[in-house]
Structure 1
Amino acid sequence: MVAPTPIPLAEGFPDALQALRAQMVDLTLRHIDGDGSRPTELSCLQLIKASCTAPRTAPALYEPGLVIVLQGRKKVELGNETLYYDPLHFLLVSMTMLPKGQVIDATPEKPYLCVRVSCDTQTLAELMLEVGPASSDAPAQAQSGLNVAPVSESLLSAALRLMQLLDNPQDQRVLGPLLQREIFYRVLTGPLGPRLRALAQQDSATRRLSRAIDELNRRFHEAISIDELAEVAHMSASTLHQRFKQLTSMSPMQYQKQLRLQHARRLMLASGLDAAAAAHQVGYESASQFSREYRRLFGTPPRTDIEQILRAS
């Protein structure tokens, strides 16, 4: 399958969107100092900054939520599919995914900036019940866990008001959840609404696949069979395997392997563990096998990869 052409940026950013985005850029720069991802006092909100483009496409853990780019551009690859998102297009992550992401437009003077707003299926289910069915909804069937759509003024306005709570701690507890709901309401009533509805509906194929993915995320360090996952998803093993690969571009066992390697990478970065200790914690019995598979995924041996990340940061 040929990768789609990158989505072009509009020549002139609409004035209303530009005004909202300028305020969000200012807020982001005031609340994040160095490059990387930064959690905020709002549990659903994360700020991300990169001052240079990535030299290569790197695998990463994408958790359910919405990514709104304020400055720069990024691409994400999932199997044979390539998506581009920028200040005119947001990324919807329907469930935990393991694509390859790469910042392709960023400089120290104009860094890549984005905000990530997380979601949970309970909130989506409640919103779906309140909004009601839409006649234009596509069938609730999983096609991909990643989708891109144009950003709207109403969506950007809600995201800005959520970010403004960073300067008003006294309002966060009450208004934070309300604005999080509004943001996903805007997505639910937009062109990607069918994807969110499919995730929220308890009997949909997407929701059942999500249960299998959740099970793998909880038990990634354990030996788990395809039959166990099929039972969790209420599907046959063959159907689960087929639809899992359609959604994530990999088999359940390949997905589990990448989860293990991603978590091991986090342990080495955050806790200073060596490769052997990290491998053991995520379920590997052989340190040499871990090193081989780590290099295959990330391009370099564990120690070299961690040293490069630490030097860059």
Structure 2
Amino acid sequence: MNTKILEEVNKLIKEDSLTRTNIKGVNLYKTTTYLPRTPLTYDFCLVFVLQGKKIGYLSNNRFEYDSKNYLVVPTAMPFECETYASKEEPYICILIDIKKEIMQEIISSISKEESKKCEDVQISVFQDKVTNELEDSIYRLLKMLQSKEESNILGESILREIFYKIAIGENSHFLHKMFLENKAEAKMIRSLRTIHHEYNEHLDIPRLAKEEDMSVSSFHTHFKKVTSLSPLQYIKKIRLHKAMDLLTRRDMQVNETAYATGYESSSQFSKDFKSYYGYPPKEAKASFEII
């Protein structure tokens, strides 16, 4: 990102924090502290790094996103992220929620020539290059955010512009397929939404497969292709991420958290939590405060 962009974002964000802006779903984040590999859930969003960098880990996949490469997360995904930042060079990013209705309209309007590049899909999360045109859009977005009136009147138009540039990006294959209702990728997105809404209930894999008119084996195959995790692995990670939030931000007790996240056994919850985070759930609050 160029220096003009950094000048504008520093007018909007002063201290280490998440800063909400005049456009709903557009947030700024800054930190001067290096963070080791830490669990983090992204949900249907774009991440533009203006300074510093992050490395995201999803199973065996590694994503390095910085000022030259943005990240697209077209569905809720439990990551592990390492953040590179210092007082001399803070990590600064823009987080933009993807508005489904706008993206649906854009993708359905894209020419067949653009859609031809959407034949092969690997994993749902992808990186793409920050073009000069995209930098220009981000610069104008940051200028606009400084005025509540401009944000209210022109906010949707600048987001539409950014979404269009994402949708014609070199690696936007999955983004296209997830909006085609009969495609396996779209079916997986619907199942992922069900899991996120019902993570605290009993989740039956055969039922999820049947709801999308798929066999269990086909469901497993496509689910792993989209998320890089098996359905059970994904459900466990989502529950553990939710549990961390309940323990650290809502100050819930361990037993209470276990049942609130769909576990039938508090001891099994504690075992899974320690295996994933490296410490027992009763120490979560202290570990969170250290980070």
Task: Give the TM-score, by structure 1 length.
Answer: 0.86
Cα distance 1:52–1:234, how it changes in 2: closer, same or farther (>3 A)?
same
The residue that corresponds to 2:287 in the other structure is 308
CA contact (8 A) 2:144 2:151 kept: yes
CA contact (8 A) 1:122 1:200 kept: no
Which deviates more, 109-118 or 124-133? 124-133
Q: Which amino acid aligns with 2:158?
A: L
CA contact (8 A) 1:211 1:232 kept: no
The residue that corresponds to 1:171 in the other structure is 150
Q: Which amino acid aligns with 2:195?
A: L
Superposed, 1:1-313 pairs within 5 Å as 17-18=1-2, 22-55=3-36, 57-103=37-83, 105-134=84-113, 137-140=116-119, 142-312=121-291
User: How much identity, in percent, do the aligned residues show?
Assistant: 27
- Tell me the distance in 2 between the aligned counterparts of 1:54 and 1:72: 12
CA contact (8 A) 1:39 1:45 kept: yes
**Aligned pair count?**
291
SS at match of 1:100: strand
Q: CA offsets, 1:22-74, max 9 Å, x none?
A: 3332343343344343433322212122212223x222111112111111111
Which deviates more, 69-78 or 30-39? 30-39
SS at match of 1:265: helix
CA contact (8 A) 2:248 2:284 kept: no
Q: In the TM superposition, what is the alpha-carbon distance from 1:160 to its structure 2 partner?
A: 2.4
Unaligned runs of 5+ in 2: none
- Tell me the distance in 2 between the aligned counterparts of 1:88 and 1:220: 35
- Tell me the distance in 1 between the aligned counterparts of 2:143 and 2:183: 36
Q: In the TM superposition, what is the alpha-carbon distance from 1:140 to its structure 2 partner?
A: 4.9
- Tell me the distance in 2 between the aligned counterparts of 1:117 and 1:236: 35
Task: Give the TM-score, by structure 2 length.
Answer: 0.92
CA contact (8 A) 2:32 2:86 kept: yes
Cα distance 1:131–1:225, how it changes in 2: closer, same or farther (>3 A)?
same
- Tell me the distance in 2 between the aligned counterparts of 1:74 and 1:190: 21
SS at match of 1:230: helix
Which deviates more, 291-300 or 160-169? 160-169
CA contact (8 A) 1:244 1:252 kept: yes
Cα distance 1:36–1:230, how it changes in 2: closer, same or farther (>3 A)?
farther
CA contact (8 A) 1:59 1:297 kept: no
The residue that corresponds to 1:11 in the other structure is none
SS at match of 1:224: coil
SS at match of 1:200: coil
Unaligned runs of 5+ in 1: 1-16
- Tell me the distance in 1 between the aligned counterparts of 2:62 and 2:102: 29
Which deviates more, 120-129 or 36-45? 36-45
- Tell me the distance in 2 between the aligned counterparts of 1:100 and 1:146: 13
